[in-house]
Amino acid sequence: MDLDRPLFATFWNGVIDLEHDSINRVIEKYERLIEEGKISGSKCHACTRIMVPPRPVCRTCGSTDIEVVEVEGQGRLLTWTTIYVGPPSYENNVPYTVGIVELTNGERLTGIVDIPVSELKYDLPVTAAFDDERQGAARLRWKKA
Ligand SMILES: [Zn+2]
């Protein structure tokens, strides 16, 4: 998962009508959590649902009363696949494995799996980490818990 600032800012700007300072505060908190190696989500103040990755509109009730919050980066591996022909930004990393993890709060999140394929199994406990191989972006990686 790429967490690219301009893309993230455009996404939030285009969907919700927040004042510019509010958007900047949301993005700053989101980026700070990534720098600290933490996963973030958005918490809906109307119904308390926490969505991962952060979304500007609640998927349960449609509210835009949203706050970026830290989410526990622990979960269990649901499924995975190994990529042998990647997109241009990943072509130097092939082969690599991508997995879907169910977090402890029930949300599902995709990321690169940094565990040998021979050790992967359904329900394997994993923990989140971020690398910073590319300037301006961070990639989520799942490691053994
Ligand atoms: Zn809600």
Residues 6+ apart with CB under 8 A from 89: 2, 134
74: CA distance to ligand 1 center in Å?
23
Cα–ligand 1 centroid distance for 124 (angstroms): 30
Task: Give the H/E segment covering residue 102.
Answer: strand 96-103
**Banded pLDDT at 95 (limits 50, 70, 90):** very high
Measured in Å, residue 68 CA sits from the centre of ligand 1 at 13
The single-letter DSSP state of residue 113 is E
Encode pLDDT of 68-84 as tens digits. 889 999 999 999 999 99
| Centre of ligand 1 from the C-alpha of residue 52, in Å | 13
What's the whole-model pTM score? 0.75
| pLDDT tens for each residue of 10-23 | 555 555 555 555 66
DSSP line for 34-92: HHTT-EEEEEETTT--EESS--SS-TTT----EEEEEE--EEEEEEEEEESS--GGGGG
* pLDDT (0 to 100) of residue 2: 43
Q: Tens digit of pLDDT for each residue in 23-51? A: 666 777 777 887 787 888 889 999 999 98
Q: What are phi and psi of 114, to 5 degrees?
A: -95, 50
| Res. 3: pLDDT tops 50 | no
CA–centroid distance, residue 107 to ligand 1 (Å): 14
131 compared with 11, residue with greater pLDDT? 131
In CATH, the number for domain 74-144 is 2.40.50
59: CA distance to ligand 1 center in Å?
A: 7
CA torsion through residues 138, 39, 107, 17, sign: negative
Question: Is the model's pLDDT at 137 over the cut of 60?
Answer: no
Question: What confidence score (pLDDT) does residue 98 get?
Answer: 94
Ligand 1: distance of its center to the CA of 41 in Å? 13
Give rounded-to-5 percent helix, strand, coil for the chain: 25, 35, 40
Taking the centre of ligand 1 as the mean of its atom positions, its distance from the CA of residue 66, in whole angstroms, is 8
Which residues of the chain form CATH 2.40.50?
74-144
DSSP state of 2: B
CA of 108 to the centre of ligand 1 (A): 17
| pLDDT for position 1 | 40
The first and second tokens of residue 101, run together, are 């993890």
Residues 46-74: pLDDT tens digits?
Answer: 999 998 888 778 889 988 888 888 999 99
